[in-house]
């Protein structure tokens, strides 16, 4: 049974569960541990440690997996085992991983294949995605609330990468909690952030880009 030592770079909302992703310490790229059923979303029992604490961004952890479970639009997926994850270090020393993180930063203008907020899933029928996870360090990022098509409140993030403008949904629960009092028409701007960007599940023929984690540097 494969075991991976990773730095967690996202613990984001996914349907009624979570989507966890991180970079492998062995230098072999991203991994997204997924459940055996549903859309792969993780339940609390899946992403907690033996003390019932949940995994956090910048935790260094060990996870056991069963097998690769790639999708055409998410090649990094691995099916989890039933064993609890192990926390190795909290928090990591960012400087120890700076070189590794820089390797996976997208400078733009394209982000995960294009400069739009989504990718046409039909493209993956011809050629599976090379990646569905990346990092970005925009100079500025602005957050604002919006009511989505289902009538639910949603935090959006606006930023630019080399002249390409992005307006993406945020699925980072810590950011959503922090901005819970932001009112319609309000906007909050920040600098010095590291973003984890993910391609979401297939939705009406498209995979939308999501801001899965906002990390203040």
With cut-offs at 50, 70 and 90, classify the pLDDT of residue 149.
confident
pLDDT score at 33: 98
3-state secondary structure 160-182: EECCEEEEEEECCHHHHHHCCCC
Query: Is the omega angle on the peptide bond into residue 109 within 30 degrees of 0, that is, cis?
Result: yes
109-141 tens-digit pLDDT: 999 999 999 999 999 998 999 999 999 999 999
27-64 tens-digit pLDDT: 999 999 999 988 999 999 999 998 889 999 999 999 99
pLDDT surpassing 90 at residue 217? no
Give the distance between the most distant pair of CA atoms in the chain: 50
Compute the average pLDDT of residues 210-214: 98
72-114 tens-digit pLDDT: 999 999 999 999 999 999 988 888 899 999 999 999 999 999 9
With cut-offs at 50, 70 and 90, classify the pLDDT of residue 14.
very high
DSSP state letter for 73: T
**Dihedral sign, Cα of residue 133, residue 80, residue 44, residue 58:** negative
With cut-offs at 50, 70 and 90, classify the pLDDT of residue 166.
very high
pLDDT score at 18: 97
**Distance between CA 155 and CA 211 in Å, rounded?**
10
pLDDT surpassing 90 at residue 150? no
pLDDT surpassing 90 at residue 11? yes
Whether the Cβ atoms of residue 69 and residue 78 lie closer than 8 Å to each other: yes
């Amino acid at each position: 049974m494969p075991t991976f030592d990773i730095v967690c770079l996202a613990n984001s909302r996914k349907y009624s569960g979570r989507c966890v992703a991180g970079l492998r310490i062995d230098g072999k790229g991203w991994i997204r541990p997924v459940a055996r059923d549903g859309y792969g979303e993780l339940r609390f029992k899946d992403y907690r440690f033996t003390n019932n604490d949940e995994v956090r961004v910048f935790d260094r952890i060990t996870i056991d997996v069963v097998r690769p479970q790639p999708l055409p639009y998410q090649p990094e997926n691995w099916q989890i085992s039933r064993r609890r994850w192990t926390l190795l270090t909290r928090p990591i020393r960012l400087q120890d991983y700076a070189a590794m993180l820089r390797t996976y930063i997208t400078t733009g203008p394209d982000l995960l294949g294009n400069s739009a907020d989504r990718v046409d899933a039909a493209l993956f029928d011809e050629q599976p995605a090379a990646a569905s996870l990346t990092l970005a360090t925009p100079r500025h990022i602005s957050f604002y609330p919006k009511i989505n098509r289902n009538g639910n409140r949603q935090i959006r993030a606006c930023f630019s990468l080399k002249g390409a403008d992005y307006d993406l949904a945020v699925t980072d629960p810590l950011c959503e909690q922090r901005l819970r009092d932001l009112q319609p028409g309000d906007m909050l701007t920040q600098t010095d952030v590291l973003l984890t960007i993910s391609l979401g599940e297939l939705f009406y023929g498209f995979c939308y880009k999501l801001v899965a984690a906002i990390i203040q540097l």
